[in-house]
Amino acid sequence: MKPSPFITHLAKELKKYKSRKYRINAQRFFKEKLDQPWMLKGAIFKQLANDAWQGIKGRPKKEVFELCEELLESDLEAHVGFAFDFAYRCRKDFTKSDFARFERWGKTYFTNWGNVDNLCCRALGHLIYMYPELIPRTRKWARSKNMWMRRASAVCLIVSLRKGQALPDAFKVADILMMDEEDLVQKGYGWMLKEATHEFRDEVYEYVLKHRAVMPRTALRYAIEKLPKEMRKEAMKK
C-alpha cells in the first residue's frame, strides 16, 4: 500500500539527519540486538515530532491513530517513537475503548525498554490515570510470557503514582514480578516503586523492608534510590 503524503514527508525529513552528529549509538543503551542500531538524539527527535505534529494537529483522533498505525507498520524505531508521541498528544480525547488499541500496540511493537516506557509513561499511562478501572487489565500482563509486557504492567502505573494514586495496584504488580528473572523487568518494577516514594515514601519503605530478603538487589536498589540515606542503609541490610 502506498504511504500517505504525511508519512512520505516525514520519511524525507528523517533522511536529512543521516549524519552521525544527529544520532546516537542505540546499542549503548539496549542489551538486546537491534535491527536499527542507532536513534536520533533526543532534541532532534523532539523537534521533528513537534514540526510533524503541526501538519496533523486538529485532525480527529481516529485519523491521527490511523497515521500512527501506518508509522508502526514501517518497523523503523523512529517511526515507533513518532506514533507513540502523536498518540499522547491526543490524550484530551482518550476514551476507555482506546485501551484495546494500546494493548495491541504493546503486544505487537514492543521490542525494547525504550518503546515500552515511551508508550506506558505517556499515552497508556495517562489513559489508565483517566480510567483507573482499567488497571486490573494491565495487571494480567505481569504474568505474560512476553517480558516487555511484564515490564509494561509496572511502568504503566507511573503516571498514576506520580499523581498520588494506584499504590495498592503497584504493590500487587510488584508481588507478581518480585522474582522475575529478567533484569529489565526487575528494573521496571523497581522504578515503579521509586516513583511511588515521592507520594508514598513510608508505605514503599515498609514494603521494601517486608520483602528485602527475597527482592532481587537490582529491583531493591532502584526502589530505594530516592529515599533518605538512613532508610536506604536500613533497606539494604540482609
User: C-alpha cell of 68?
Assistant: 500512527
Taking the C-alpha atoms of residue 26 and residue 219, their distance in angstroms, rounded to an integer, is: 24
- Whether 73 maps to a domain, the answer reads yes
CB atoms within 10 A of CB 16: 10
**Residues 116 and 231 occupy one common structural domain:** yes
**Residues 118 and 232 occupy one common structural domain:** yes
Looking at residue 156, its pLDDT comes to 98
pTM for the whole structure: 0.90
**Residues 164 and 204 occupy one common structural domain:** yes
SS3 content of the chain, % helix, strand, coil (to 5): 70, 5, 30
**Residues 233 and 186 occupy one common structural domain:** yes
**Residues 62 and 9 occupy one common structural domain:** yes
Pairing of strands 38-40, 23-25: antiparallel
Taking the C-alpha atoms of residue 123 and residue 87, their distance in angstroms, rounded to an integer, is: 6
Residues spanned by the domain of 200: 110-238
**Residues 48 and 116 occupy one common structural domain:** no
CB atoms within 10 A of CB 188: 29
**Residues 222 and 127 occupy one common structural domain:** yes
* Per-residue pLDDT tens digits of the chain, which is 238 residues long: 677 888 888 878 777 776 566 555 555 555 665 555 456 667 878 888 899 999 999 999 999 999 999 999 986 777 888 999 999 999 999 999 999 999 999 999 998 898 999 999 999 999 999 999 999 999 999 999 999 999 999 999 999 999 999 999 999 999 999 999 999 999 999 999 999 999 999 999 999 999 999 999 999 999 999 999 999 999 998 7
Taking the C-alpha atoms of residue 74 and residue 77, their distance in angstroms, rounded to an integer, is: 9
Number of domains making up the chain: 2
